[in-house]
Structures are given as C-alpha cells and as structure tokens.
Structure 1
Amino acid sequence: MPTLFILLRKELKAFFLNPFGWVILAAVVVANGVGISTAMKGFLDTPSQDSLIFVTFHSPVFWFWFLFIFPLITMRSFAEEERSGTLETLLTAPVRTWQVVLSKYLAAFLFYLFLWLPTLVQFHIFDWIAELPDSWTPGEVVGTYAILILMGMAFTAVGCFASALTSSQIIAGLLTICFLMILFFVGYVPVIWGGAFQGVGLFHYISCQEHLALFAKGFVDTRPVIYYPTLTFVILFLTYQLVDYRRWKR
C-alpha cells in the first residue's frame, strides 16, 4: 500500500502542479456557469416546477461539456508516458501493474471529484445575492452529485483504458470521446426505435440520461449503483491486462 500512495501522490501532483489542471477547473466552472445562466433564462421565458439543478444538468449544454472532461483528464495517463518512454522505466521498477493502473485511475478520479466542488458554490450564489430560499431540495442535490460520482467512476475508467491503447494523447482523447458518445447515444435507442422491441429494458438500464434525470429529481435507483461500479471494475481489469501484457512483452 505505501507504494500505491507514493504513485498516487506523484499522479496527483501532475494535476495540481500543472497549469493544465487549473485550466480544466476554470473551464468546468465557466461551463457550469453558462449552464446555470441558460437554465435561469429558461425559467424566465417558461416557468417550470423543476428545480434549478435538474434543469441545469438535464440539458444538451451540460452533456456537451461534461463528456469532454474525461478525455482531458485521462489522455495523458498512459499515452504520454508511453510516448516519452517513462512508462517502460516505471514498469521495470519494483512496482506491481495493478498499482500503476490503480494510482493513475484514482488520481484522475479524485481530480474529477475536485472539479465539482466549485459548482456547489455556484448554485448558491444567486440565492445568496437575491436572498431567496434554495430552489431545490437536499434530496435533489444528493441525488445529482451521487450519480455524477457514479458516472465519473466509469467514464474515468474508459478514459484510462483508451489512454493505455496508444502512445498519442490526441488519439487517446478521440478514443475516449468516441467510447463515451457510444454510451451516451445508446440511451437514445428506445427514443428512436420506440419501446416495443425486445431488449428495450437493457437500453433503459444503461441509459446515462435516464439515470441523471431520475437522480436529479431526488429518486435513487439501485440499478445504476450496481451498473457503474461493475462497469468500472470490468474496464479497469481490461486496462490492467493491457498494461501487464506490455510489461511482460518488454
């Protein structure tokens, strides 16, 4: 375990001591601010009973920037070290493959969680300035951020896997966004084809849009709680096998 913590600290420094990490944070803050402003304008044009958090995260604006977080925070994980040759040095050191994979994944996931801290303040700014009560319930806040954490677990793993497939950061980023777009559009299959075909339940089960909409209303479904950690484990296992193959191939 000490080795894992040493590797994890090294990976975290790559985020927090690098200007690029703070640029990502600033981009997320700006993007979420745009989403909140868009949602508030929507309330002005068309009053709604939905909460500000639900409308903000249940819009195309949110999904556009949300999916692009993961290639940005994971494309360097393995690809950059493979390109520079430091991955070979790391894999020949007295560390285990699972420690390398897990440290890179945990660092990216912890940084992902860090990105959401300012958004909690953003939702309160308007209420503090206008001296109005919160336009959401505690259940909606907990549900929304719970599903963002669950989706982040799996999507970060997808990014790490894509980064392990290539030595190019650009290709790793493109692969990540392609994989995530597939997962995203799979949720629209019942909308496009209707719900009368066999197996439609599977598409509802893996639809990240439905998961976010449900949790953002304060309803907790146990299926995503099982689905995303399972998907995370499977993808990390594949990443481990890929990196381990490269290790022994050398």
Structure 2
Amino acid sequence: MRLLLNLYRKELKTYFYTLFGWVVLAFVALMQGLSLSTAMKGFADAPVAQSLVYVTYHTPNFWFYFLFIFPLITMRLFAEEERSGTLETLMTAPVKTWQVVVAKYGAALTFYLVLLIPSLLHFILFPILTDIPAPFSKGSFFGGMLVLVLMGCYFTALGLLGSALTSSQIVAGIITVGLLVLHYFLGYVPVIWGDSFQAAGLFRYLSSQQHLSDFTTGLIDTRAIAFYLLSASFVVFLTHHLVDFRRWRN
C-alpha cells in the first residue's frame, strides 16, 4: 500500500508542480464560468422552466470543453514515459503493473475532481452573493455533481487506455478524443433513427446526454451509476492487461 501511495503522490505532483496543470485548471474554470454566465443570461432574457444547474450543463459550450478535459489530463500518463524511456525503468523496478496503472488513474481522476471545484463554488456562492434564493433544488445540484463525477471516472479511464496504446502524446490525445466523441454520438442514435428499432433502449442507456439531463433534474438513476462504475473498472482492467503484456514482451 505504501508503494502505491508513493506512486500516486508522484503522479499527482506532476499536475500541480508544472505550469501545464495550472493552465488546464484556469481554462476549465474560465469555461465553467462562461457556461454559468450564459445560463444566467438565458434566465434574464426569458422565463426558464429548468433549474440553473440544468441550464448551465446544457449550454452549447459545455460539451465542447468538457470532452477535451480528459485528453489534456491523461495523454501524458503512459505515452510520455514510454517516449522518454522512464516507463521501461519503472516497469523493471519491484512494482506490480496494477500499482502503476491504479496510481496513474487515481492521480488523473483526483486532478479531474479538483477541476470541478470552481463549478461547485459557483453554485454554492450564488445565493450568498446575490442574496436571492438559488434557482435550483438540492436534488439537481447534487445530481449534477454526481453525474459529472461518474462521467469523469469513465472518461478518465478511456484517456488512460488511449495513453497506454502509444508513445506519442498527440496520438494518445487523438485516440482519447475519438473514443469520447464516439461515445457522445452513440447517444444521438435514437434521436436520428427514432425509437422504432429494438436497440434504441440500449443507446439511451449509453447516452451521457440523457444521464446528464436526468441527474440535473434530480433524477438519480442507479443503472447509470452502475454503467459508469463498471465501464470505468473494465477499461482500467483492460489497460492493466495491455501494459502488463507490453511489460513482459519487452
């Protein structure tokens, strides 16, 4: 356990001890603020039936920046170490493959959770700074935060896998973007083809857009929770076997 924690701390430091990590944090905070201000402008222009949390996470720019968070924070995890040769040195040390994989995944996921803090503070401070009741319920607030954490677990795992597939950070980022965009557009299959075909229910089950809509209205779906946690676990498991195969092959 001590070795795992040491690896985890080492990986986490690379986010906070470099300029890159702070640039990503500043970018995400800016985009989250833009999403909130866009939602508030919509409330000022006309009556809105949905809550502020719902509207904020359904602004046009939300998915644009949200999907690109994960390539940024994961593309270097394995790719950069393999390019520089430090991964081979690490793998010849007395550490187990699963410890390396879990430490990298845990550090990336922790940094992603830190990126959610500005959005969390926006909603907490809103009623305090404006001195008016918050235009959202506790259910939509906690549901919105929960679904972002769940999606982060799965999407970070996809980024981890993408980084383990190549020694190039750029290629790793492209692979991750491709996997995320593919997953995103799977949710639009029922929108394009309708609900008349038998697999429509499956595509709705996979739809992150549908999950985001449900959770930000306060509807907590345990099936979605199971989907994200099981999918993240499977992808991390797959990454472990991929790295382990390359370790013993070399």
TM-score by length of 1: 0.98
Alignment of 1:35-184 (within 5 A): 35-184=35-184
Q: 1:177 and 1:60 mapped to 2: Cα distance? A: 18
> In the alignment, which residue of structure 2 is the partner of 1:24?
24
Percent identity at matched positions? 55
Q: Which runs of 4+ in 1 moved over 6 A?
A: none
CA distance in 2, matches of 1:106, 1:124: 26
Q: How many pairs were matched up?
A: 250
Q: How far apart, CA to CA, are the structure 1 residues paired with 2:229 and 2:121? A: 28
Which residue is 2:213 aligned to? 213
How far residue 123 of structure 1 moved from its aligned partner, in angstroms, is: 2.5
What's the offset of the Cα at 1:14? 0.6
Contact 2:38/2:59 (CA < 8 Å) preserved in 1?
no
Q: Could you list the runs of 5+ residues in structure 2 that have no partner in the other structure? A: none
Shift of the alpha carbon at 1:77?
0.2
| Contact kept? 2:164, 2:243, Cα under 8 Å | yes
Q: RMSD value over aligned CA atoms?
A: 0.9
Residue identity in the other structure for 1:235: V
Aligned partners of 1:59, 1:193: CA distance in 2, in Å? 24
Shift of 1:128: 2.9
Q: CA deviation at 1:207?
A: 0.3
Deviations along 1:101-146, one digit per CA (max 9) or x if unpaired, are 0000000001100111121222344433321111111111110111
Aligned residue number for residue 186 of structure 2: 186
**What amino acid is aligned across from residue 205 of structure 2 in structure 1?**
Y
- Which residue of structure 1 aligns with residue 197 of structure 2? 197
2:7 counterpart of 1:7: yes
Q: Distance in 1 between matches of 2:124 and 2:91?
A: 46
CA distance in 1, matches of 2:103, 2:60: 33
Q: Which runs of 5+ in 1 are unaligned?
A: none
Aligned to 1:67, the other structure's residue is in SS state: helix
Structure 1 window deviating more from structure 2 (94-103 vs 237-246): it is 237-246
Return the alpha-carbon distance in structure 1 between the equivalents of residues 206 and 151 of structure 2.
11
CA distance in 1, matches of 2:142, 2:205: 21
Tell me how far apart the structure 2 counterparts of residues 249 and 120 of structure 1 sit (CA, whole Å).
45
Equivalence for 1:233: 233
Contact 2:126/2:134, CA 8 A, preserved across alignment = no
